Amino acid sequence: MPFGSFAPLPLRLGGSAEEGWAPEHHARFVADLVSVKRTAPLARLLVNQDPGTPFAATVAYYSGQNGSGVLYAPTIAVTGAGDVTLTWPGYWEDEFGIQHALKIRQAIARSYSTAAQFPVCLISARTIRVRTFTDAGAASALPFSLRAW
């Protein structure tokens, strides 16, 4: 065993603790791994906004199931002051060459510097619209963090 005699590796199917895992334990372990993957966020990102003319936005930080770094970040389209649309590709490919379809079910956007929350609209299975407006209705250029599941 590569990690010493007390490590549970290699995982073998068997009937007892000495022989390996019982099939029921292995099935439960795999089901737990799938549930962790399913409930983990698809992406976490930080978007900086530039209030200049024209209004601009850039991704400053990105960490997702498809990869880490701004190279894996979604494309950003600014449709107006305080109105940002983020679009992911239709699928992503893992390190084994398997393509995974991308479907966003939920997203939460929060201000990175204040306690404000911004409304998020799911336009499609891979497109999110975030509107960063103040309570008075004015467009704000606050940076925001976004989590998508």
* Residue ranges making up the domain that contains 30: 11-40
Q: Name the band, by pLDDT with cuts 50, 70 and 90, for residue 11.
A: low
Contact 74, 88 (CB under 8 A): yes
User: What's the confidence (pLDDT) of residue 5?
Assistant: 54
* Closest alpha carbon to 79 in 117, 22, 123: 123
Tens digit of pLDDT for each residue in 71-119?
A: 999 999 998 888 999 999 999 888 888 898 888 999 999 987 777 788 8
Could you tell me the CA-to-CA distances from 100 to 42, 97, 140 in Å, in that order? 12, 10, 35
DSSP annotation string for 68-96: ESGGGSPEEEEEETTEEEEE--SEEE-TT
Are residues 125 and 114 part of one domain?
Answer: yes
- Provide the number of structural domains found in the chain: 2
Contact 125, 104 (CB under 8 A): yes
Are residues 65 and 93 part of one domain?
Answer: yes
User: What's the confidence (pLDDT) of residue 9?
Assistant: 57
Tens digit of pLDDT for each residue in 41-80?
A: 889 999 998 887 778 899 999 999 888 999 999 999 998 8
